[in-house]
Amino acid sequence: MPVGLLTLAGIERAAHAQLPPEIWDFIEGGSGAERTLTANREMFGRHALRPRTLVDVSACDPALTLLGAPLRLPLGIAPMAYHRLVDPEGETATARAAGRAGALLVAGMFASRTLEEIAAAATGPLWLQLYWLRERVVLAALVERAEAAGYGALVLTVDAPRIGRRLRDLRNGFAVPSAVRAVNLDQALTAASHRATAGRSGIAEHAREQFDPALSWTDLAWLRERTRLPLVLKGILTAEDARLAVEHGVDAVLVSNHGGRQLDGAMPALAALPEVVDAVPAELPVLFDGGVRSGTDLAIALALGARAVLVGRPALWGLATDGEAGVHRVLDLLREELEHTMALLGRPRLADLDRTVLAPWPCPAG
């Protein structure tokens, strides 16, 4: 293994070196001035760890069950559109890697392989992410297919009534290359994503046409009636919305600001995590994504109350550099680093990772 690939940052550099600039910008970019994107990372640096000593750490066990799914560690891959932008195989390679690592895969509604192909490749827990389309029949059909194919939960993304102003995509006039398609949707529905126009983003245009910006809390009942699958809301950042999510009967919430790609200036995801955790009953799983790049980051999010943590961009870096093996390398590095962190922290069980693990950084004087 090349020495640079000992960290996710090394894999990121390798992916950057080989991807076309407009694809890199689409993946890496955030919205607006990218304040939230930057802050997602910076927040992890505000926490120091408080290691305990003389604890038997000969067996560190990060395994858990999440909404009925057995995971070897509290880690998953966040839903991301179009994995074939970076690898000819796309989501099926990602699914095999996740299964081998014992991690969760959340496939995206805009996957570039069919839901059935992804399910056939998956050997571990698999969930499906949805955006709420104006055409509810399309949504209903996808839900039916997901159930038939064995998906274990639905993740409804609620932070995107429209697409954030992603300046890199606007400057690049970004359009999804015609060879890469959201194959689970009718081609007519996604045509705008493939239309390159100077100063515009094909993805934003497409979302403007298709996403339903009128969606509100009362609509969730429509989705609930159509499925027996657990429902997760993705994009919750406040205690108010966390409480509403509980009132509306969701099975889990995912604290996320969409990797800094939606509302620029939104709270860094890690800063939002404690208020959401404190607002929901202890048994309701709170998941987290945004800026996780190491096992230390994972441990910090778990200590703040996340039941499991998802990574977005790092999975695509792995996929771009070495297909299935690359994604597996990313997940395996995170597992290795998490177990290492748990051992040196003197917290061999996930239940030991609570807020007593954390202190502010820099440590207060005196």
Ligand X SMILES: CC(C)CC(=O)C(=O)O
Q: Which does 76 bind (CB under 5 to 8 A by kind): ligand FMN, ligand X, none?
A: none
Which is nearer to ligand FMN, 60 or 250 (by Cβ)? 250
Cα separation of the two ends of the chain: 44
Contact partner, 289, from ligand FMN, ligand X, none, Cβ < 5-8 Å per class: ligand FMN
For 3-38, letters b (16+ CB in 10 Å) and e give eebeebebbbebbeeebeebbbbbbbbbbbebebbe
Pick from 92, 107, 110, 220: which binds ligand X (CB under 6 A)?
110
Among 74, 76, 102, 108, binds ligand FMN (CB under 6 A): 108
Query: In a 3-state reduction of DSSP, which class is residue 69?
Result: strand
Count of Cβ atoms closer than 10 Å to residue 255 Cβ: 31
Residues in the chain: 366
As a whole number of angstroms, the distance between CA 139 and CA 166 comes to 26
Is residue 312 within the footprint of ligand FMN (CB under 6 A)? yes
83 is in an annotated binding site: no
Distance of CA 129 to the CA centre of its chain: 10
313's contact among ligand FMN, ligand X, none, with CB below 5 to 8 A by partner kind, is ligand FMN
Hey, CA dihedral for 50, 328, 71, 247, is it positive or negative?
Answer: positive
**Least separation in angstroms between CB 83 and ligand X:** 12
Q: Determine whether the annotation assigns residue 43 to a binding site.
A: no
**Binders in 136-175 for ligand FMN, by CB under 6 A:** 157
Q: Which is nearer to ligand X, 110 or 151 (CB)?
A: 110
Q: Which of 249, 178, 177, 166 is nearest to 204 (CA)?
A: 166
What does 124 bind: ligand X, ligand FMN, none (CB cut-off 5 to 8 Å by kind)?
A: none
261 labelled ligand-binding: yes
Nearer to ligand X, 44 or 131 (CB): 131
Residue with Cβ nearer ligand X (175 or 272): 175
Q: Does 180 bind ligand X (CB under 6 A)?
A: no
- Secondary structure of residue 208 in the 3-state scheme: helix
Interface residue with ligand X among 11, 81, 154, 345 (CB under 6 A) is 81
The neighbour count for residue 252, using CB atoms within 10 Å, is: 22
Q: Is the separation of the CB atoms in 152 and 127 below 8 Å?
A: yes
Is 151 annotated in a binding site? The answer is: no
Rg (CA), the chain: 20
Mark whether 16 is an active-site residue. Answer: no
The residue from 47, 194, 206, 258 that is catalytic is 258
| # binding residues, ligand X (CB under 6 A) | 7
Q: Shortest Cβ distance from residue 81 to ligand X (Å)? A: 4
Q: What is the DSSP string of 227-242?
A: --S-EEEEEE-SHHHH
Please calculate the CA angle 243-245-250 and round it to the nearest 5 degrees: 135
Residues involved in catalysis? 258
Residues that bind ligand FMN in the complex, under the rule CB under 6 A: 27, 40, 78-81, 108, 110, 129, 157, 234, 256, 258-259, 261, 289-292, 311-313
The annotation places the binding site for FMN at 79-81, 129, 157, 234, 256, 258, 289-293, 312-313
Residues that bind ligand X in the complex, under the rule CB under 6 A: 81, 110, 163, 203, 207, 258, 261
